[in-house]
Structure 1
Amino acid sequence: MPTATGRLLGVAQLSLLSAAPPRLVQLASDAGFDFVGVRVRPVTDAEVPFDVQPGSPLLAETLSRMADTGVVVRDIEFLLLDGTDQRDAWLRMFEAGQALGAESLTVACGDPDLSRARDTLAQMAEDGRPYGISPALEAISYQSVRSIPVADELAVHAGCDLVVDTLHVGRFGATAAELSAAAGRAPMVQLCDAPAERPATREALVTESRSARLAPGEGGLDLLGVVAALEAGLATTPRAGSQLPVSVEAPNSEAVARLGDAGWIEHLHSSAVRLLEQNPTPAATGTAGTDAEARTP
């Protein structure tokens, strides 16, 4: 069921990376989430790959669990554009995503050649149209594309979407104006919290991002300011007055070990609902997510 405000609430695969898609769907349903994101391609060698390609037993089980619970898959992940030819990889991801009913495929850019990255994204967007899936570029604080304006420019050029993640917004210091300007291309916002102080090294940023995020409302980031800035920007789009779906993406190894899989997912849901029902108000000028010192060039 949507929150009391009518906002759709989901949970991203990264919040519980060890859970295979059918189990993630069931845990999400039990906790009260409306949708999930599914990782159809591993990011690191340490991850267990989930084969949800058309015809696979895991896909059939996932679809059965979705039918039983009413939880849907909105997005799939994750591809890091690195400058090599990855077309075969993303075509397989589109196939899996279409079978799951997904609408977007989250990508990030580690390619230092942004001109090449523009062309890659444009090819991805063209390839995704027959599958009904759009690439959604996420600006990540430790990758080549690490600001909302750069991500937005690439998305506009390619004709694709972008994903706003509150952790990375906090770490590179996006402004409310930047978020509002990009809002029309954001199919959802990824929500988590973290301490206000930015980690000092790239390695620490990576560790925080992958395994040490906090539940919404338990850190020092201005989460409501990010949501409000995005929704203020929707006033000039066909989605004026709508509430962006929220996907809670909060991996935390210590918390999962302490609370268990179901306990962590339930905690993420209750924390997100409690925060979002405070009713975000339009953000003021300045940075959204954290203080101005977090901005990176």
Structure 2
Amino acid sequence: MATSPDTRDGPVKKTKARCLFLKMAAAAHIPDTVTITNQAEVCVARTCPLISLAGLTLPAVSPLLLAQVAADVGFDAVGVNLLRVWYTASAQAGPFTQEVARLGDALTASGLTLIHGGHLLLGALDRPSAKSVLAAMRELRAQYVVLIAAPHAPRAIIDEDFAFVAAEAADLPMLVEFAPYTGWRTLADAMQFIDAHQSVPLRLLVDVLHLMRSESLSLWTRERDWPVGLVQVCDAPIALPTQESLQLEARGQRLDVGEGSLPLQEIFARVPRHVPIEVEAPCLALRNLTPHARARRSLACLLPFLAEQGYRPRAAPDSPSDQSKESIR
């Protein structure tokens, strides 16, 4: 498991998001200063975990602009698609290295953490690209590598690709993500893979939409000690779309927290308080918003929900305007 981002550089960094978070502490009768030395104390103190902005929420912007927007709005971290950067650089090491260096400078200047550098598709892995991306993740000190399984890929091929990634990732922790249109369709599928590879410390990436659409909620609520490394959050109508529409919904029809009817409170009851939370809410209906307005909207919707779940409260950015809410109806 990676060292907590709060301690790996020595003194605790006061990011903009954490400072905003503490401003409301007195109102909630929580001490306004908390000494954090490890993840256990983060959990005990009920302080807010890292809140990340996923690149898919702003699919049209570059990782560099995503980092700038996230820092300006008040996020603590970002999740980017480094494979996209690799292919944009025409799969050439020189241009890719330059882009990674620029992103690293932006992360350092803003105090942001890189939660992950995108997904690696086991069962259909482009190994030269994956090797370059993994090296970039190590350079950028990413918290996690995210793994997904290609649909219909033979298990033997998935295992071969996993062995390659595990060797190249070295000390980078890995997350297993399930989604109903991938090779790991359900929570049970993801746990089966984790249990079959206990020599490698694997954890779950739980996307609340995928949890619901894979009909895994009942299993999720029966257990308390899931090995969760990251939760991706959004909202959506409770009604299950057609099988053919699942991927379209996940990539462009998500809602911000509080604007749908997913049982988010029930889901978060099983999420350890120290686990990072990432907003992944791509919404084509909001594509005309500026990147800053779109990111600010998601954060403003998320923070009141977290406060209701017992997370340490923090001041939210300006609430979404009535006009922006109206635009997705």
What's the TM-score bracket when you normalise by the shorter of the two chains?
0.7 to 0.9
Matching of residue 245 in structure 1 with residue 276 in structure 2: yes
Deviations 1:201-252 (A, max 9, x none): 32x1111111111111111111222221233xxxxxxxxxx42110101111
CA distance in 2, matches of 1:262, 1:74: 20
CA distance in 1, matches of 2:310, 2:280: 19
Q: List structure 1 segments (4+ residues) > 4 angstroms apart after TM superposition.
A: 47-55, 179-184
Q: Once the 2 structures are TM-superposed, how far is the Cα of residue 115 of structure 1 from its aligned partner?
A: 4.5
Matching of residue 8 in structure 1 with residue 38 in structure 2: no
Aligned to 1:93: 133
User: Which runs of 5 or more structure 1 residues have no equivalent in the other structure?
Assistant: 232-241, 282-297
CA distance in 1, matches of 2:266, 2:290: 31
TM-score, normalised via structure 1 length: 0.79
CA distance in 2, matches of 1:269, 1:52: 36
Q: How does 1:24-35 map to 2 (within 5 A)?
A: 24-35=66-77
Aligned partner (choices 107, 111, 114) of residue 73 of structure 1: 114
Distance 1:180 1:9, change over 3 A: farther
Q: How does 1:108-257 map to 2 (within 5 A)?
A: 108-112=148-152, 113-129=154-170, 132-158=171-197, 159=200, 160-175=202-217, 177-178=219-220, 181=223, 184-202=226-244, 204-231=245-272, 242-257=273-288
Q: Once the 2 structures are TM-superposed, how far is the Cα of residue 184 of structure 1 from its aligned partner?
A: 4.7
Q: Once the 2 structures are TM-superposed, how far is the Cα of residue 88 of structure 1 from its aligned partner?
A: 2.3
- Where 1:22 maps in the other structure, the secondary structure is helix
| Structural RMSD (CA) | 2.7
Q: Once the 2 structures are TM-superposed, how far is the Cα of residue 15 of structure 1 from its aligned partner?
A: 0.7
CA contact (8 A) 2:91 2:129 kept: no
Deviations 1:169-220 (A, max 9, x none): 1111213543675855321101111111111132x11111111111111111
Aligned to 2:303: 273
CA contact (8 A) 1:42 1:78 kept: no
Q: Once the 2 structures are TM-superposed, how far is the Cα of residue 268 of structure 1 from its aligned partner?
A: 0.7
- Where 1:187 maps in the other structure, the secondary structure is strand
CA contact (8 A) 1:194 1:221 kept: yes
- Where 1:247 maps in the other structure, the secondary structure is strand
Distance 1:205 1:277, change over 3 A: same
CA contact (8 A) 1:106 1:135 kept: yes
- Give, as a single letter, the amino acid of the residue that structure 1 aligns with 2:300: S
- Where 2:80 maps in the other structure, the secondary structure is strand
- Where 1:164 maps in the other structure, the secondary structure is strand
CA distance in 1, matches of 2:82, 2:307: 32
- Where 1:229 maps in the other structure, the secondary structure is coil
Distance 1:182 1:99, change over 3 A: farther
Larger radius of gyration: 2
